[in-house]
Every structure is written in structure tokens, then in C-alpha cells.
Amino acid sequence: MKRKNLIVTLTLSALFCTLICVGSFIRFPMPNMMPITLQTFFVLLTGLVLPVKASTLAILTYIALGLIGLPIFSGGGGLGYILMPNFGFVIGFFIATVIISVVTQKLKYCKLWQYIVISLLGVAVIYIIGVLYFAFIINVHNNNAYSAIWFIQTVFLPFLPKEIICIILASISAYKIRPYIIKIPQ
């Protein structure tokens, strides 16, 4: 029985890791800033649908693959990506996925509005960590002096409409998919 559970966890983790990777290749370029990708949608869906072990394994695998050099982050990949301003969002993906998964697992069966609230929490975590890291790299590491308002206007507000759409779509998808995932022995 344990072997079957391990196989299910590994399979679900691999599937959702692949979805996050695919989401990074669905890009919409933005002038003078990071591209818009669908990574957030798949990160939210991973946390909303999978149990904690499987979601954590999925996001850790995604990060490991990116750090070993696969160009699956929004701006590429490799160990040097840690010094890129965007890497804070990758850290945020990990923390948000774990938080979202823990919360949804505790609730077991969620209503649609609960998925939306949990997704809002996840996006808030991603952006708080992402924007702070972005500001640190730009201002401290690269020796600049941009204001907090500049970071909010540049790194958060242009992406807000996309994140609202991702929250809604991931919540609806989780509402439909998760009841079937829960029935799979883990």
C-alpha cells in the first residue's frame, strides 16, 4: 500500500511540476519589465489541488530544475539566477504553494469562495516576497535607490489584472478537480 501511495505522490508531483514549467513558457512580453507568464496560475493550482507532500515536491523539483540550468524561470535558469531580481518570486512560489496546500488540506472540502480567499493569500505571499527580493537586488546588490512606490508601480500593479484572472481560474479549476484528487489514495 505504501508503494502505491509513493507512486501516486511522485506522479502527481511530476505532473504539476511539468505544468508549472509549461506555464513559464507561455509568455506575454511587457515593455521594459518581466514578461507575463502563467506560472502563478499553475503554482496556485498545485497548492490548491495537491496534498502538502506532493505540492512541496512539485515546487521543489521545479526550483531544482531551474537552478541546475533549465530555462524554466521567467528570465532563464541556472544557479546565477539567484542574483536576478525575479528570483524572489520563485521563493514566493515555494512558500505560497506550501501555505496554500496546508490550508486546503486542513479544510478538506472547500467552497469556491474559500479557494478564492486561499489563492488571494497565496498571491499576496508571492508578491510580498517577490517585490521585497526584487527591491533588495535592485537597490542593494545593484547599488540603486528606487522608492517603494516605484517597485509597487513597476513590479506589482502591471501584473495585478493577470493575477486576478489567475486567482479566479485556479480557484474554479481546483473546485472542479480537487474532489477527484482527494479520492486517490495518498
- Of 16-20, 64-68, 81-85, which gets the smallest average pLDDT? 81-85
Q: Which domains does the chain have, with CATH numbers?
A: 2-27+34-182 (1.10.1760.20)
Pairwise pLDDT comparison (131 vs 146), residue with the higher score: 131
- Is residue 123 a contact partner of residue 159, using CB atoms and an 8 Å limit? no
pLDDT score for 1: 46
pLDDT at residue 142 greater than cutoff 50: yes
What number of other Cβ atoms are within 10 A of residue 159's Cβ? Answer: 21
pLDDT score for 145: 81
In percent, how much of the chain has pLDDT > 70? 98
> pLDDT tens for residues 101-111?
999 999 978 99
In percent, how much of the chain has pLDDT > 90? 68
Q: Three-state SS across the chain? A: CHHHHHHHHHHHHHHHHHHHHHHHHCEECCCCCCCEECHHHHHHHHHHHCCHHHHHHHHHHHHHHHHCCCCCECCECCHHHHHCCCHHHHHHHHHHHHHHHHHHHHHCCCCHHHHHHHHHHHHHHHHHHHHHHHHHHHHHHCCCCCCHHHHHHHHHHHHHHHHHHHHHHHHHHHHHHHHHHHCCCC
What is the pTM (predicted TM-score) of this model? 0.92
Q: Give the mean pLDDT of 51-71.
A: 96
